[in-house]
Amino acid sequence: MEEIIRLDKELFIFLNTLGSASWDGFWTFLSERTYWIPFYLLLLWLLYKNFGSKKTFLILALTLLMVLATDQLTGLIKGWTQRPRPCFTPEFEGIMRGVGCERRGRFGFTSAHASNHFGIALFLGLVFRSKIRWMIWLLLIWAALISYSRIYLGVHFPLDVICGSLIGLTLGSLFYLIYKKISEKYFHETED
């Protein structure tokens, strides 16, 4: 385990120090959830346009429950492991680029940003797969960029992001199976 943590720290320093002040605004923008409201509204409109109001309500309710589940699970893991964020790790002082640490909690394992966005990406990508085939790839790239932004900003180690992504992908798959079961039962659909 010590070797994995050492490699994780080395990879963090490599990725984090690739950044420059000219890119800070871009990666900060990607990381802030409020900037994504127009994108979320576009997804909501696409859901309504492709699935109607009842299924859109179901998809939205499941998405919100999934985000709640990813948030709660990552919060429990953070409290259990208590691994400090890179920006609160004394050995990185003066070495790393900490762009957005001042407003963060002390612990970072696992990344809630990664779990939330990968969960949303996989769940909605699978929902859209019969209507907009390329949507899953767009959403997964979006989640990956947001997840990388967390390393760039100095608030997560790569392992925080990888484990958060795995949590999101797992819960995204699980909630998609729940969606399929409900759709089969109440909408009499066997395929999307």
Which of the residues are catalytic? Answer: 113, 156
Q: Residue holding tokens 């990813």?
A: 70
Full DSSP string of 34-103: GGGHHHHHHHHHHHHHHHHHHHHHHHHHHHHHHHHHHHHHHHHHHHHH-PBPGGG-GGGTTTS--SS-TT
Neighbours of 58 (CB within 10 A): 19
At residue 97, φ and ψ (nearest 5 deg) are -100, 105
Q: Do the beta carbons of residue 126 and residue 59 sit within 8 Å? A: no
